[in-house]
Amino acid sequence: MNGPLRIGVAGLGTVGVGVLQLLDRHGGLIAARAGRPIVVSAVSARDRGKKRPADISGLRWFGDPAAMARDPEIDAVLELIGGADGVAKDVTEAAIAAGRHVVTANKALLAVHGAGLARAAESAGVTLAYEAAVAGGIPIIKTLREGLAANGISRVYGILNGTCNYILTSMRDTGRDFAEVLAEAQELGYAEADPGFDIDGVDAAHKLAILTALAFGCEVDFGGVYIEGIREVSALDIAFAEELGYRIKLLGIATQGEDGIEQRVHPCMVPQGTPIAHVDGVFNAVVAEGDFAGRVLVEGQGAGAEPTASAVVADLIDIARGIALPTFAIPAAELRRLPALPAERHVGGQYIRLMVLDRPGVMADVTAALRDEDISLEALLQHGRSPDGAVPVVITTHETTGAAMDRALARIADLKAVLEPPRRIRIELL
């Protein structure tokens, strides 16, 4: 335990280089807090000759990261490659089989293979650590696994994707529509050239699946997450939300019910008075509700080289100290398989926006479809008139089931006076 913790870094992208820079800048401080030095023994990446803002000239180079993971002069492997399968999975499995600890920032890998990897790590007597996989520099994994370990968790939810939060914030602040703000986010580096994983909710769903397993002691079930992205959110919806006293956020929400787990990622109307409504820009925030601690909110930078590197090195410090905890807070063999509750069963208020012809009888037909599904209206908004064209009409409802609203919207969409598919955003009072 007195010797250095020797690490191999697989992947020298933004996060991998950030880790090297952090260890170089704060080596003495980290050694003092870890009880021994943490040193980089080897690195692996696709392109050895690529220019990087970190000096790797004195480090051993491996073209094959799985071979590096099996190297006897390495104690822990950092998997910073990404992706649910392929090289990232091979490296992780090779490291565990060789008795090496693993630290990863790979939410896709854990969301898809987390339960199996946890069992393998615990059987091998090594740590599988992943603070950086969820919400970057925010210590939400430690908060759930350690700080709230004595609590029963009833719900965990949050803003889990900074790209979407930036886009929705900018749309609200500038009045511009989705496509224009997305293009700006790509220019600024907040969104990828192919932004689908972010804006379609997949990235947030990966993270939510991990948080769900940790909070409720169940196997990771990415396939059980209902996913809806932000492509259909318009500047008009955001303006109506403000008028109604809400803000629109892409949230991941997990709740344990009597007969299963509800996991949802979708745009939400949240009251302007709630703390999470004021988490803006690229920031993330996660809320956990414990039966003794109450509601705990952690907020911070959810991505980027420095926050993510900070989380990676925090895990390394725990490993250097000899702190060993089950991957998902309880032994992997005890993780339960809980049914996934469909989104159709969720009960809550709803926001509906319609584009309709402005003529007598239209709203009577719309409200009849809602009435027949026992859906009660809370508010109805229409600004101005356009006898020769379309007008937006907004309806908010009291609590109803998702299934009832699905049936009502299908009927409303068939009305000749309704000119485009209805837009629906769920209301979360939080």
Residues with a catalytic annotation lie at: 207
The Cβ of residue 393 has, within 10 Å, a number of other Cβ atoms equal to 20
Q: Where are the alpha helices (DSSP H) in 49-200?
A: 65-69, 87-97, 107-124, 140-142, 162-174, 178-188, 196-199
Tell me whether strands 76-79 and 390-397 are parallel, antiparallel or unpaired: unpaired
Residue among 316, 276, 20, 329 at smallest CA distance from 168? 276
Burial class (CB in 10 A: 0-12, 13-18, 19+), 373: middle
Both structure tokens of 90: 């091979």
302, two tokens: 């959810």
DSSP character for 145? I
Q: Which phi and psi (to 5°) does residue 36 adopt?
A: -165, 160
Instruction: Round to whole Å and give the CA distance between 343 and 150.
Output: 30
Structure letter (DSSP) for residue 189: T
Residue 377 corresponds to which amino acid?
Answer: L
Alpha carbon distance 248, 69 (integer Å): 44
Amino acid type, 388: D
